[in-house]
Amino acid sequence: MSRLFRALCAASAVVAASPDVAFAQSTTLPQITVQGGKPARAKRPGTVRGNQAPRPAPSSTTTAAPSSLTVPTTEQARTEIERTPGAVAVVPDTQFKNAPAQTLKDIVDYVPGVWAQPKWGDDARLSIRGSGLSRNFHLRGVQLYMDGIPLNTADGYGDFQEIDPTAYRYVEVYKGANALRFGSNSLGGAINFVMPTGRDARTFESRVDAGSFGYLRSAASSGGVYGPADYFVTGSAQRQTGFRQHSNGNAEHGSANFGYQFTPDFETRFYVNANNVRQRIRGEVTKDGALNSPKTAFATNVIDDWQRNIDTVRIGNKSTLRVGRNHVRFRALRRRQAFDAPDLSVA
């Protein structure tokens, strides 16, 4: 056995026999005591109550109307949706209203995981995380809502012709199972289009958009508050001749909501939505046609005059009761929809 090994063993034995030597450098820290109490809630303008966002203090010259209980503002909606432990998003109107937004693609184009591809007129193919990607016509797997009220029909199918980008304050996007708050049918995801109320809308607003291929759209809206009551009304009309043959169409959209706050903790709101759509369908195109005659429509569509004509009327109600920090919401819907001609096109 080497001398070095014997020296190491001897040193280890000495340290083990003398614990005071090994822990001679230990230090005792002073005790720290933390005390505190619950701060008193200040009763002043801007105090957060329940799920509402802070309200600005009213100025000396004007009195700000209280926000709606049934329809959160954009900031309130963003704060609430961010509590979802999953992939969600809020798209404010400042991202699409300041541009000539015509289709759903113009609204959700920059939302990760959402894919929208325009086809003809206001129709599109929509997919959230792959759900509904294989659908060539209609909408399946993804649910559309307007102020929390379903746009899809009872069989799960839906259309995009009722969407009017000029009518919304913001758009909520729930990806995949994060949309289960709307029910099991929304397992593939959901998009909720939220209109303004008279409490956050301008007294009057209008716009006119014009573009190539005979595109023209005009829109106007009005909102106001009268004590506990408020209203918001909006309407738009558009027409286009289209790039290809047999692709002309026109559409009129009208939406309104009327709210009444019985108490600071209870509000009810009625919704009315009507749409009139007349759209011709151009049909599919071959590779040779796309390269040499891209404006030519599919011959069968022209001969049979294929169209997609929709008339819809929706009447809904939302009521919200605030109990402490919780909100109890009630919804009701009455829908009437008519199709003048079936959609047989897969283009």
CATH number at residue 114: 2.170.130.10
| Position 25 in a domain | no
Q: pLDDT at residue 322 above 50?
A: yes
| Position 273 in a domain | yes
pLDDT of residue 21: 44
| Position 217 in a domain | yes
Task: Tell me the pLDDT band of 61, cut-offs 50, 70 and 90.
Answer: very low
Choose between 19 and 287: higher pLDDT: 287
Which residues are within 8 A (CB) of 98 and not within 5 positions of it... i.e. 6 or more apart?
A: none
How many H-runs (helices) and E-runs (strands) does the chain carry?
6, 14
| Position 135 in a domain | yes
| Position 130 in a domain | yes
pLDDT of residue 75: 92
| Position 280 in a domain | yes
Cβ-count burial 274-297 (b if 16+ within 10 Å, e if not): bbbbbbbbbbebeeeeeeeeeebb
Tokens 């029910």 label which residue? 183
pLDDT digits (tens, 9 = 90+) for 246-269: 888 899 999 999 999 999 889 999
| Position 12 in a domain | no
**DSSP class of residue 244?**
S
Cβ-count burial 43-58 (b if 16+ within 10 Å, e if not): eeeeeeeeebbebeee
Cβ-count burial 136-162 (b if 16+ within 10 Å, e if not): ebbbbbbbbbbbbbbbbeeeeebbbbb
Q: What's the whole-number mean pLDDT along residues 331-345? A: 55
| Position 38 in a domain | no
Instruction: Say if residues 161 and 310 touch (Cβ distance below 8 Å).
Output: yes
C-alpha to C-alpha distance for 8 and 26, rounded to whole angstroms: 24
Instruction: Say if residues 276 and 238 touch (Cβ distance below 8 Å).
Output: no
Question: How many residues does the structure list for the chain?
Answer: 347
Instruction: Say if residues 142 and 156 touch (Cβ distance below 8 Å).
Output: no
Q: Which residues pair with 232 in a beta bridge?
A: 223, 257
Number of domains in the chain: 1
Which residues are within 8 A (CB) of 212 and not within 5 positions of it... i.e. 6 or more apart?
A: 243
Whole-number average pLDDT of the chain? 79
Task: Determine the structural domain holding residue 308 and report its residue range.
Answer: 74-339
With H, G, I as helix, E, B as strand and everything else as coil, classify residue 336. Answer: strand
Name the phi and psi angles at 222, rounded to 5. -150, 145
Choose between 144 and 57: higher pLDDT: 144
